[in-house]
Amino acid sequence: MPVSVDDRCLRLTGEGGDAGVLLGMRCSGCGVVVFGPATFCQSCTAPDLAEVELGAAGVLYSYTIVRVPPAGWPGAVPYVLGEVELPEGPHVLAEVIDCEHGDLTIGMPVSLALQAVAMDGGAETERVVYKWRPA
Ligand SMILES: [Zn+2]
């Protein structure tokens, strides 16, 4: 059974680990939506937040090529770290896959891509992570 890398950010919706939705929190006071868990609104500080499912499509807001990865990074290097803007408002940082670096353009449409990654080499450490790929 596949396991989400963080079930506060990514809810798996299928048995295969290749379907899921990103999760955010919407402020009941001002309507601002943020990605992932929050205990109060970052915009108006209201404590009244409700979980929302976010869409699987966004646009590339910014990106960088990472040549020195964080400790324990399980993937190939260099890789593209993309900041993706969702229609609901939040920006979500994740690797952009299946794209030549030269083909990246700001504003390009991207869609959510889920991948199972062995965090520590062994199959028992496998977690489903979220990435972006050109739409
Ligand atoms: Zn608010």
**Going residue by residue through the chain (135 aa), what tens digit of pLDDT does each one get?**
789 999 999 999 988 778 999 999 999 999 999 999 999 999 999 999 999 999 999 999 999 999 999 998 888 999 999 999 999 999 999 999 999 999 999 999 999 999 998 877 677 788 999 999 999
CA of 103 to the centre of ligand 1 (A): 37
In a domain, 1, yes or no: no
CA of 29 to the centre of ligand 1 (A): 5
In a domain, 56, yes or no: yes
pLDDT score for 82: 98
In a domain, 5, yes or no: no
Please give the tally of structural domains in the chain. Answer: 1
Domain span including residue 89: 10-134
50-86 as b/e: b if 16+ CB within 10 A: eeeebebebebbebeeeeeeeeeeeeeeebbbbbbbb
In a domain, 121, yes or no: yes
In a domain, 116, yes or no: yes
CA of 87 to the centre of ligand 1 (A): 17
